[in-house]
Amino acid sequence: MSEELDNLEKQIEEKISNTSNLNDLNSIRVEVFGKKGLITNHLKSLSTLSEEERKEKGKKINNIKDKINVLLIQKNKILNETEISQKLQKEKVDITLSSRPFNQGKINPITQTIAEVTKIFQKMGFETALGPDIEDDYHNFTALNIPEEHPARQLHDTFYLKGDNKKLLRTHTSPVQIRTLEKRKPPLKIIAPGRTYRADSDTTHTPMFHQIEGLFLDKDVNMSHLKGCIMDFCREFFEINDLPVRFRPSFFPFTEPSAEIDIGCFKDNKQIKIGNGGSWLEIMGCGMVHKEVLNYCKVDHKKFQGFAFGMGVERLAMLKYGISDLRSFFNSDIKWLNNFGFSIFENIEKI
């Protein structure tokens, strides 16, 4: 009897020592201590014995049970540790591998153009100013000398917001002139890029587009300063030293006198090219800031004068980068962006 139990103990100990994974170890546990397990059966058989035998065999079995339990716990710990270290080994990341540049994203030509224009004016001492996309009637129109019944209000195809406080989506970046002058006193030189909105949608208009506004106020500023500033800008932006720039008289309510600026161009193989070629292309509006606008902003027009200008970003980008369809800027077409977009790495020094 005792020999049989000794043999069983040995057998189980051997099995435990030979297992190399947690699953097998668990099977051994069931085989030994399960409902019909080897040890369980011996425990059950105790009831058939005399009291004397039962005491002796019971003690022996419990002894074996304790020993095997300890062995199972120890083996479980060892196998767990090897399993974890094997897993770590498998999932090891080689941090010494050299990195690859992640350059899948591209800069939209609109963003690129705004950065290029801003950079040129920055070199001339202009600071960047921003204003809200949701404007009110006063800043978008009234303070820019566009009164209630002025036809220019109809021309702007304004998106009005619901409610009776006449909130609207700004139709141009000119209100940033007013917002800046409410906060700061001249002299100042600002450039204000941003989104603008008009209820207009066809091949040459999108309801949302971008403008860049400029404002320069100081003592004794005159039209020749405006001409010099804009000519320098056009030539640097289009990278053409002898680019013809023409000032053509025009009308804007917020400037007097006002002008539209044309740059030289020509047709090459049905494509419009910028440069000295006998034709003209309009690229922006400008003028000397109107006395009424200065009055609205509480600036003494006898002391300070200045000029303002405004340009459409999409048009500049199309002309400089040969983009023919205005709507392609906003289609989020990855193929188009890969072709016309800019890599942040290539252009870092430009922006």
Binding site for ligand DAH (CB under 6 A): 172, 174, 213, 252, 255, 285-287, 308-310
- The alpha carbon of residue 73 and the mean position of all alpha carbons in its chain are separated, in whole angstroms, by 54
DSSP collapsed to 3 states, 269-290: CCEEEECCCCEEEEEEEEEEEC
Min dist. Cβ of residue 213 to ligand DAH (A): 6
How far apart CA 213 and CA 254 sit, in angstroms, is 13
Query: Any alpha helices (H) in 124-195, and if so which ranges?
Result: 137-140, 151-155, 175-183
Min dist. Cβ of residue 250 to ligand DAH (A): 8
Nearer to ligand DAH, 311 or 319 (CB): 311
Nearer to ligand DAH, 68 or 131 (CB): 131
How far apart CA 219 and CA 306 sit, in angstroms, is 8
- Which residues have C-beta within 8 Å of that of residue 3, sequence separation ≥ 6? none
Min dist. Cβ of residue 324 to ligand DAH (A): 23
Min dist. Cβ of residue 168 to ligand DAH (A): 14
The three-class DSSP label of residue 26 is helix
Q: How many CB atoms are located within 10 Å of the residue 138 CB?
A: 13
Query: Any alpha helices (H) in the chain, and if so which ranges?
Result: 2-18, 22-33, 38-45, 51-90, 109-123, 137-140, 151-155, 175-183, 223-237, 291-296, 313-321, 334-340
Min dist. Cβ of residue 310 to ligand DAH (A): 2
* Locus of tokens 């040890």: 39
Min dist. Cβ of residue 127 to ligand DAH (A): 16
Nearer to ligand DAH, 5 or 231 (CB): 231
Nearest residue to ligand DAH on Cβ basis:
310
